[in-house]
Amino acid sequence: MYSKKKPISELKDGERVEDIFVVKIKKSIRPYAKGFMFSLILSDASGRSVEYVYWGEKDESKVKDIHQAIKEDDVVLVNGYFRTFNDKPGISTNPPDSIKVLHKGEYDSGEFIKPAKRPAEEMVGELRGYISSIKNAQVRGILERVFIEDSKFLDTFKTHPGAIEIHHNWAGGLLQHTLEVARYCELSKGMFPGLDRDIMIAGALLHDIGKVHEIGVTTRIKGTLKGQLKGHIPMGFRMLANVMDELGTDEKIADKLLHIVLSHHGSNEFGSPKEPMFSEAIAVYYADEMSSKLSSFVEFVSEEKSRTEDDFMYSRAQKRNIYLR
């Protein structure tokens, strides 16, 4: 059993590395002055990447054997020296035995996902609190069926990331984001008493349940095949519709909750087949925006400001320069 020693983000120039990484991209073999080489892009839970270069020997078939044994998403144990070449971090190695593919069981795949920022059980407690605060028995019943009675779903939901990258992309990020959305909605209820708290809070808790099928977690967080073809909004819509059908939920309640799921991206342009048509749907939409955009800004600034001395850094996600100071 191997465990991660030091995240890529903390490696220093010239440092000796003997640690485990995930293979993100595998490149093909090419000849060089002294034989055959290939390179891999390795990553770990810090979200950073490093280029690993294997400078192999003259015998092409031997290098090919090593190369073919490695697949994307594999966890590998690597020996070498860390160096920054042309502003890009890299690890150079000298064979033999500089790289080894680990088997499942030889490592803890949880080590390769960013760790949770809040304890899962604390978050589940908060979730249960919201559920038990719902006054309408039908609405509460739906939440209990989805989140409590289906313990397999909850096990996934409470440790799932909220996105592949940019925001809440860590274990438990999905539940953490869900609770942030609920909290903004709770505050809105205090200021706008006309809001239907039961529908709004239930909508907040349910809006992203389809993400457990859209995002897959192995040694990396990746979009699933079905997620790319169908999206979390239609999948979550169907999950919820089927549960409510089974429970015999009143059509009016059912249609409102389903509308919140469908409209939570706020506009067609951003993938919602319906735009928010009532106050609780607007509340969930803006709460979702606020949680995800603030998470992405705060994470970006916190990561970038230690990497650079510049005042600004361009964010491709936000399509603008972000001020870091």
Sites of contact with a copy of itself (CB under 8 A): 27-28, 30-31, 83-87, 180, 183-184, 187-188, 191-192, 194-195, 225-226, 228-231, 233-234, 237-238, 241-242, 251-252, 255-256, 258-259, 262, 268-275, 277-279, 282-283, 286-287, 289-291, 293-295, 297-298, 301-302, 311-312, 320-325
Minimum CB distance to a copy of itself, residue 222 (Å): 11
Minimum CB distance to a copy of itself, residue 57 (Å): 17
Minimum CB distance to a copy of itself, residue 216 (Å): 12
Q: How far apart are CA 204 and CA 3, in angstroms?
A: 37
Q: How far apart are CA 201 and CA 183, in angstroms?
A: 9
Cβ atoms within 10 Å, residue 304: 16
Minimum CB distance to a copy of itself, residue 226 (Å): 5
Closer of 160 and 213 to a copy of itself (Cβ)? 213
- 322: part of which helix (H) or strand (E)? strand 320-323
What own/partner pairs with CB < 8 Å and gap ≥ 24 does 51-54 have? 51/88, 51/89, 51/90, 51/91, 52/21, 52/78, 52/80, 52/90, 52/91, 52/93, 52/99, 53/90, 53/91, 53/92, 53/93, 54/93, 54/95, 54/98, 54/99
Q: How far apart are CA 206 and CA 20, in angstroms?
A: 37
Cβ-contact 17, 44 below 8 angstroms = no
Minimum CB distance to a copy of itself, residue 240 (Å): 10
Q: How far apart are CA 8 and CA 49, in angstroms?
A: 7
Residues in Cβ contact with 272 at an 8 Å cutoff, skipping those fewer than 6 apart: 233, 262, 263, 264, 265, 266
Closer of 75 and 283 to a copy of itself (Cβ)? 283
Q: Of the candidates 148, 157, 144, 153, which has an alpha carbon nearest to the alpha carbon of residue 247?
A: 144
Closer of 60 and 111 to a copy of itself (Cβ)? 60
Instruction: Quickly count helices (H) and strands (E) in the chain.
Output: 11, 11
Closer of 137 and 298 to a copy of itself (Cβ)? 298
Minimum CB distance to a copy of itself, residue 176 (Å): 9
Minimum CB distance to a copy of itself, residue 178 (Å): 12
Cβ-contact 253, 139 below 8 angstroms = yes
Minimum CB distance to a copy of itself, residue 137 (Å): 20
Closer of 4 and 274 to a copy of itself (Cβ)? 274
Q: How far apart are CA 4 and CA 46, in angstroms?
A: 11
Closer of 20 and 80 to a copy of itself (Cβ)? 80
Beta bridge partners of 93: 54
Closer of 136 and 279 to a copy of itself (Cβ)? 279
Running DSSP on this structure, what letter comes out for residue 112? G
Minimum CB distance to a copy of itself, residue 99 (Å): 19
Closer of 106 and 311 to a copy of itself (Cβ)? 311
Closer of 83 and 128 to a copy of itself (Cβ)? 83
